[in-house]
Structure 1
Amino acid sequence: MPLLDTYAPPTGRHDELLDVDGKIRLQWRPLLARMESLGVDGLNARAQLVADSILADGISYNVHAEGQEARRPWELDPLPLVIAPDEWQQLSSAVAQRAAVLNALLADLYGPQHMLAEGLLPPALAFGQPGYKWPCRGIAPPGGIFLNTYAVDVARGPNGRWWAIADHTQSPAGAGYSLQNRIILAKTFPDAFRQLQVRPLSDYFRTLLDSFARLAPAEGDPPLIVLLTPGLGDDAYFEHAFLARYLGYPLVEGRDLTVRDNTVYLKTLRGLRRIHGILRRLEDDLCDPLELRTDSAVGVPGLLAAVRAGRVLVSNALGSGVLESGALFGFLPGIAERLTGTALAMPSVASWWCGEAAALDHVIEHLDELIIKPAFSDMSLPAVFGHDLKGAEREAMIARLRAQPHAYVGQEWIRMSQAPTWGANGLQARTVGLRLFAVATPDGFAVMPGALGRVAASPTQEVLSMPRGGTSKDVWVRAGTPVRRASLLKRRLGVIDLVCGGSDVPSRVGDNLFWMGRYTERSEATARLLRATLGRLSSGEDDDDSCLPDLLAACHQMDILPHEPAADASADEREKDVLAAVCDPMQPGSLANMARQLNYSAGQVRERMSSDNWHALNRMSRLFDQPLRSVGQALAAVDRAMLDSISLAGFALDDMTRDEGWRFLILGRRIERLYRLAALIQIVLSFTDDARDRSLEWLLEASNAIVTYRARYRRTPEVLPVVHLLVFDDTNPHAVVFQINELDSELDRVARDLGHHRTDALDAMRAALHQFDLTRFEAENSSAACHALAEQLAKIADDTSALSENLHERYFTHTAPDARTH
């Protein structure tokens, strides 16, 4: 095959694609045939489709380095790794057995401790590491299951045998990324996906849902299970949000939960709602600042007491991180024999814990053949290849081993297998490893028929790390029989399952939806005002009758420009200031800054956003990735941002369920529009007579009312009809009175639904405008009327800001005087 011309796997390693005779392995042949029919151009197009899908869906992971945080797009190789049915049967059985052994070991370590008493495990490996949590001793989790979920990193050696490289027992990550990879590649190669009869992943997630619902101590009520995340800054926050949405679990942070009388509650807009289960994405230490790590700001105070009382299921059991130590590998064979009566079907990579004298001597003697790793998962030490150490570096490592032997493990260096990847140079061989996932069931552990494949960044790289440029792979497990496509939905719903509206909206979620609404409206309003400004800049208006200075003054007073350009500022200086107001993300009030704030608020409620929402958000944020160097480029970016803001408004109105979260998003939009309308009109009415008259047209443009005005009056803008249209017209959705009426209706619904007193601030605004005499604008000089109305609008803007603060205290921080307490 021509595609194989560039494929040259190195000798001495197992190759996933070619057998020892250089022939394509049987399970790969249909996929390779499909690739060959596409050709190089077709495969490049598919690779671009994968990249575009990742970008459009905002699939990312966070990288923390040198005190900085960066969100990077997820990397996915367009070629899957294909595994034959018989090989998968052996591999999955071995993973299920290993999970069962580790679950039994946890039960022993936090229970009778026979393994320690019988000498099968050194006490120092349990009690001498931070992973063992003494407060968890004696706690029996629901069903006796410590590992509700489990993941293991495996690699294939030169002889074709699979080896366990690392166990993940606290909060195994990666299953969500595996599912996202599958969704993308199934669309990229739909024909090959069907032809190869790839096993679906949905059964694994259905099993997870059933397992949690069965084990959660719901006491006859519908179990409410949440996914607990550290927050937006976590490496895998995208996965947390994606999984929460896919599983139907509320995504919560520690501050969303509270413990009362050994019971965990979710703080919602309606009050407290009992939580029956928690799928955590926090490390053991961080879960409870009362009994575990006192400086944790992301945990739930009192959580361990609720677990101890049997009032909540926490997955995985607190303290399960003790098994993530590579130092245990050398002792697992004996433990497995003792606990299950059978040998490990998939052995761990050969390991020597340097805490034993004989093991330390072996590691030092065979340093060139080993990888030196930290013994415990909480140690931030990189893995070191012994053969890379020369001279003084080698001696320094030996000195560290002798000084702190208990802190290090020597592991055999496995020459991991290589698999084909597709890139700019065609088909290339890269080192590959797999992360497999299992979930506990009444009949043992069920293994997800797929995996998160991880691929090295270069032919010579051995460490599989996304931050170091690595790539992920989807893993296709072929079925021996036709595949039955399953749904994640329950087969049959009962009356107990019926839901109307959303009663589990956390206060934090309501807060972020509220600000998402405000930032969306603020972005659109800022874009309209900047478009009017850029239009005047591009036309070269700079005479005495130009409204450009008035526009720039308004931009400054609306906090879009940090300062008002000097009267004698050159055209270049003005252009520079306006371009910065468009594209400088570090300048407060700029359109780029608004896009960043909007993206942040939306990211906090990622699980509630549809794909279309995210496409619009990502398009908007990417508009300002590169600096804009001309007025024309800025105008194009402003137009695009305005359209994306309008799209977001459309999604909110047409696509989102009218639950409590939606109401606060709409409240945010209404409050922001009312504030900005009142503030901008007040600014223009406060201008001198000449400046006011020449500003009326751009005011109509910025308020999105120019078309309505022209259709009604067919004449040059005048103060009276403009004021009536933008302030008093209750049929104009961009008028102040219209916003007051709509906001009043929304607040009335919220107060009625959530049981709070409604505010009378809007009644006062409406009454003040109703009493204003519009005939005052018929006078020969209407300056007095303009200034009087400007004062009224300034007060409305101030009262609107106060209303926003009142909502925040009442519903989000619960500090208002009449906020309910529990």
Structure 2
Amino acid sequence: MMQPPPANVSVAALLAACRATGSGFDEARGADGLPRASWKGFLEGLAQMEVSDLAVRQEEASRLLREHGATYTIYDDPQAADRHWKLDILPLVIGAKEWDWLEKALKQRSKLLRMIVRDLYGPRRLLKEGWVPPGMLFANPGFLRAAHGIEPAGGMSLFHHAVDIARDSSGRWRVLADRTQAPSGKGYALENRVVLTSLFPDEFRDLNVERLAGFFQIERDSLRSLAPQNKHDPLVVLMTPGPLNETYFEHAYKARYLGFTLVEGADLTVRDRKVFLKTLEGLRQVDVILRRVDDTFCDPLELRSETWLGVAGLMEAWRAGNVAIANGVGTGVVETTAMLPFLPGLCRHLLAQDLTLPNAETWWCGQQKVLQQVEANLERYVIKRAFLSGAGRPEFGAKLSGARRDELLSRMRAFPHEYAAQELLNLSTAPVFYGGRLEQRPLVLRCYIVPNGDDLAVMPGGLTRVSPSPQGMVVSMQNGGVSKDTWVLSDSPVEQLTLMLPPVVSMRSEKNAGEVPSRVADHYYWLGRYAERLEGFVRLLRAVVQRLAGEGNEDQTRELEAMVPWMVGLGYLPDRFGSGPVGKALLARLAVLILSRKKDGGVRDLLGRLRYNAFALRDRISDDTWRLCNQLEQDSQPRSQRFSVPEALLMLNKLVLDLAAFSGMEMENMTRGHGWRFLDLGRRVERADNLMSWVKAAVHPGPRNEAVLGPLLEICDSAMTFRRRYHTRPQLAPILDLLIADETNPRSLMWQLQQMSRHASQLPRDGQEGNIGDEKRQVDGMLSIIASTHFPALAQAEDREPGNLLSLCEHMSTSLSNFSRSVTQHYFAHALSRVR
């Protein structure tokens, strides 16, 4: 294994030693070893640094990506389900003159594909006249018959288009693939730019690197212009498969950047051939859908019936022209390797021009002569599945053994139309900083095109991906690739334009309920509940662990012995602990509750539920809030495999502080819109329910152990208030007064119910703010019971005739459950239709 060079080695020395291997094109330097003109300024600045400078910047890049929550799911790797996005700190640099040529070529290609899609779902002249083979179209699962004949709102199906390009050995750009269904990567390219400009601010400014904000502004305005009716203030939503999708971070990031509402299929419904967003106030009509759900999942009525990612009736609404979809359903028909061989001829036919940006030489095996040619020269080609349904890695003919080669050829002969052959390009390489060294790695650049009025706009740069190894032949993030920022240079100073919100903005402002979809309110509500549930559980565990870590005096021993059956009553310990053992069995059980990811209701499980709901709100919560989520995850990691009481206590103390900071961020930094209201409502419901559970377990079953009352006060963060106010040892009557009836104690049941009543009075009801509904009446009923109860008498009666306090706790728990169910049915599930 290579050791990194000493930290004081200059980058100039590394640059001198870094040479491209093989005959591939070197992006940074010419055959003479000197920097290319476009790279000269950046490499000269780089040469003035030491390795330690780059190492610090690489660590800073990783830290920023972690704090921003930039993730990319690796489906085939269970150990890296949500791995952090990988970014090399050295950009790919492209000169102004070369980019001008690329920009024109990309526009031509995008215009061509738009014409092809329009024809294939319209008159099909290209099919009738023989420009496109019938087998290439009708064997293609990307061709969706349900989309045939639809005249899309806004006049276009193919809105945004991505092109994967790479250089051949001569340095000429070639196209490897087109992405036309739901192209990914623009959000990651933006995140890369945000990170790189903070690492190389002087270089970025001095080299006149083209900004990305102008492109995203064009994309935003073009999407809004697609609205079929409401041109003045259209509702544009970004439709995502949800937090489990590989690129969900990008969906949330881009939605926030463009100012669009992030939705899942469950957030939308179709009524009268129109698409509506389920909001807290009712249904609000959607004008434009920016689609990141694969087209076959979009509508279970007309496409794949087993999916829950789409919206029933969406195709009919699109067919009626009541909603614009970008990209339109079915545009994946040209996202196929099989189409590439026909594009040069189609370009001459449709545009009367030669195809400026050539493809890597590609052949579709659905033609007999082509299949025979590929069979005879298999070692020259990369064999790919031709159509969208063809998952799996490409096969490199030169690397196939006899048995594998025969198996592949057998499959190709049986289903020739499902395969395509492409020449094996010797990809160009660029320097990357890895493990304290500079090395050359192969790369592929993904470029993006969107409409701009009657013209097209190309992102100045794109998403560069490099192979995970210097000899890698497959460049893909799913295969462990690393990304780069792409710097397109300008010959003159560039305008400093940004669509970013100022960094002091902590949360999105929710001016009205229409900005909060019901699913979002649901996630806010459960984020509040799980944050409070986790805090309560951590405080309970800390109280136990503190007594295990203490001096073992009589009071601590007595309280610990009382807490064990209390935890049994709460369901955290098995019934066999009812006699109160405090030995190794208790330590082993605590280790499971604190450290195990598989324990339902344990610390790690609750933290995962909190993080899931926070991730589902990634487009709405602030970066600081997300940093706290990351801090919670970090502080919950054990330092060693062996459980120890001191280490557990240290961890629990950190988690209490992290959760307090999370609560403070909620109270001090969030605007008081409906998102905050449901977040706080969830917290209040959970705190009230926890309190009733704790009190109920403390007094039942009898006889009551008074030693549990001190820990109860401690867990409820009310011990100091009790001592200052009552000047007595913990007793049931004053504790009930403080924890249940006290209007000034933010931990009391009365306080929670008062906050819930205030929230309930301001929830939308049938489109009208302040209309008293079932939820308000339910809370007021609970308040009335508490106000009419004389707790000193109740405590005295509990000593003589146990059961009344237990009944009160059970009644309150049931009422809280009914309240939560009512909120869910009314605002999250939309059992009743309320159209705005």
TM-score (norm 1): 0.95
Matched to 2:474, the amino acid is V
1:295 match: secondary structure: coil
Structure 1 distance, partners of 2:646, 2:203, is: 45
> Match for residue 789 of structure 1?
805
Pairs aligned (count): 811
CA distance in 2: counterparts of 1:668 and 1:709, whole angstroms: 27
Alpha-carbon contact 1:751-1:758 (below 8 Å) kept: no
Decide which of 774, 785, 790 is 1:758's aligned counterpart. Answer: 774
Q: In the alignment, which residue of structure 2 is the partner of 1:494?
A: none
Structure 1 partner of 2:364: 353
Quick one: structure 1 residues 221 and 672, their matched pair in 2 at CA, closer, same or farther if it must change by over 3 Å? same
Any idea what the Cα deviations from partners look like across 1:2-54, whole Å, max 9, x if unmatched?
12244131130001111111112222233223333331111111111111111
* Alpha-carbon distance between aligned partners in 2 of 1:698 and 1:49, rounded to the nearest angstrom: 43
Confirm whether residue 733 of structure 1 aligns to residue 746 of structure 2.
Answer: yes
Partner of 1:683: 697
Whether the aligned pair in 2 keeps the contact of 1:501 and 1:657 (CA below 8 Å) is no
Contact (CA 8 Å) 2:208, 2:489: kept in 1 or not?
Answer: yes
| In structure 2, distance between residues paired with 1:775 and 1:116 | 87
CA distance in 2, matches of 1:427, 1:83: 20
8 Å Cα contact 1:108-1:114 kept in structure 2: yes
Letter in 2 for 1:530: L
CA distance in 2, matches of 1:371, 1:196: 38
Equivalent residues in 2 for 1:241-256, closer than 5 Å:
241-256=252-267
Q: Counterpart in 2 of 1:581? A: 593
How far did residue 804 of structure 1 move? 1.0
Tell me the distance in 1 between the aligned counterparts of 2:482 and 2:817.
47
State yes or no: 1:671 paired with 2:685: yes
Shift of 1:711: 3.0
Matched, 1:651 2:665: yes
Paired residues for 1:106-117 under 5 Å: 106-117=117-128
Q: Distance in 1 between matches of 2:156 and 2:388?
A: 22
Asked if 1:801 corresponds to 2:813, the answer is no
Q: Distance in 2 between matches of 1:379 and 1:516?
A: 39
Structure-2 separation of matches of 1:646 and 1:31? 45
Deviation at 1:539, TM superposition (A): 1.5
2:9 corresponds to which residue?
none
Deviates more, 1:749-758 or 1:526-535: 749-758
Matched, 1:472 2:486: no
Classify the secondary structure of the residue corresponding to 1:234: coil
Relative to structure 1, the CA distance from residue 675 to residue 534 in structure 2 (aligned partners, 3 Å threshold; closer, same or farther) is same
Once the 2 structures are TM-superposed, how far is the Cα of residue 199 of structure 1 from its aligned partner?
A: 1.0
- Deviation of residue 282 (structure 1)? 1.3
Residue 234 of structure 1, CA deviation: 1.2
Question: Partner residue of 1:173?
Answer: 184
Q: Confirm or deny that 1:84 pairs with 2:95.
A: yes
Contact 1:510 1:812 in 2 (8 A): yes
- Displacement of 1:161 in angstroms is 0.4
SS of the residue aligned with 1:38?
coil
Q: How does 1:766-781 map to 2 (within 5 A)?
A: 766-776=783-793
State the 1:722 CA deviation.
2.4
Check whether the contact 2:344–2:354 (CA below 8 A) recurs between aligned residues.
yes
> Do 1:560 and 1:588's aligned partners in 2 also have CA atoms closer than 8 Å?
no
How many angstroms apart in 1 are the aligned matches of 2:276 and 2:746?
A: 40
In the alignment, is the contact (CA less than 8 A) between 1:523 and 1:642 conserved in 2? no
Give the match for residue 620 of structure 1. 632
Return the letter of the residue paired with 1:675. D
Give runs of aligned pairs for residues 147-546 of structure 1, distance below 5 A: 147-488=158-499, 500-539=511-550, 541=552, 545-546=557-558
Partner of 1:493: none
Q: Which stretch shows the higher mean deviation, 162-171 or 395-404?
A: 395-404
Give the distance between the partners of 2:110 and 2:573, measured in 1 at CA. Answer: 59
2:390 match: secondary structure: coil
Shift of 1:719: 3.0
Cα gap change, 1:304 to 1:782, in 2 (>3 Å): closer
SS of alignment partner, residue 199 of structure 1: coil
Could you tell me which residue of structure 2 aligns to residue 721 of structure 1? 734
Code of the residue aligned with 1:374 in structure 2: it is R
Task: Tell me the TM-score normalized by structure 2.
Answer: 0.93
Residue 60 of structure 1 aligns with an amino acid whose one-letter code is T
**What SS is found at the alignment partner of 1:138?**
coil
1:578 counterpart letter in structure 2: L
- Secondary structure at the aligned position of 1:171 is classed as coil
Rounded to whole Å, the distance in 2 between the matches of 1:607 and 1:388 is 45
C-alpha separation between the residues in 1 aligned to 2:704 and 2:819?
35
2:536 and 2:489 map into 1 onto residues whose CA distance is 53
The answer to whether residue 721 in structure 2 is matched with residue 704 in structure 1 is no
Query: In 2, Cα distance between the equivalents of 1:201 and 1:532?
Result: 52
- Partner AA of 1:773 in structure 2: H
1:492-518 residue CA offsets vs partner (Å, 9 max, x unmatched)? xxxxxx983341322211111111110
How big is the shift at 1:134?
A: 1.6
Q: Distance in 2 between matches of 1:248 and 1:273?
A: 17
Query: Is 18-27 or 349-358 further displaced after alignment?
Result: 18-27
Q: 1:636 to 1:145 in 2, by over 3 A?
A: same
How far 1:260 moved relative to its partner? Answer: 1.4
**Could you say which residue in structure 1 is the equivalent of 2:674?**
660
Does residue 15 of structure 2 align to residue 4 of structure 1? yes
Shift of 1:785: 7.7
Query: What secondary structure, in the 3-state scheme, does the structure 2 residue paired with 1:596 have?
Result: helix
Q: Root-mean-square deviation (CA), in Å?
A: 2.3
**Which residue does the alignment assign to 1:141?**
152
TM-aligned CA deviation for residue 228 of structure 1: 0.6
* Amino-acid identity (%): 36
Q: 2:732·2:795 contact (CA, 8 Å) conserved in 1?
A: no
Distance in 1 between residues matched to 2:444 and 2:272, nearest whole Å: 46
Q: Distance in 1 between matches of 2:152 and 2:20?
A: 48
Tell me the SS of whatever aligns to 1:78: strand
Task: Sort the Cα spacing of 1:241 and 1:219 in 2 relative to 1 into closer, same or farther, 3 A.
Answer: closer
How many Å separate the matches in 1 of 2:584 and 2:46? 54
Is 659-668 or 22-31 further displaced after alignment?
22-31
| Contact kept in structure 1, 2:761 and 2:772, CA below 8 Å | no
Q: By how many angstroms is 1:540 displaced? A: 5.4
Match of residue 749, structure 1, among 762, 766, 770: 762
Moved more, 499-508 or 444-453: 499-508
Counterpart-to-counterpart distance in 2, 1:596 and 1:410: 44
Q: Does 1:549 align with 2:536?
A: no
What secondary structure is seen at the aligned counterpart in 2 of 1:41? helix
**How has the CA–CA distance of structure 1 residues 819 and 399 changed in structure 2, closer, same or farther, with 3 Å as cutoff?**
closer
Report if the CA contact (8 A) 2:176-2:359 is conserved.
yes
Residues 764, 213 of structure 1: CA spacing in aligned structure 2 closer, same or farther, 3 A cutoff?
Answer: closer
Deviation at 1:543, TM superposition (A): 6.0
Q: Aligned AA for 1:416?
A: L
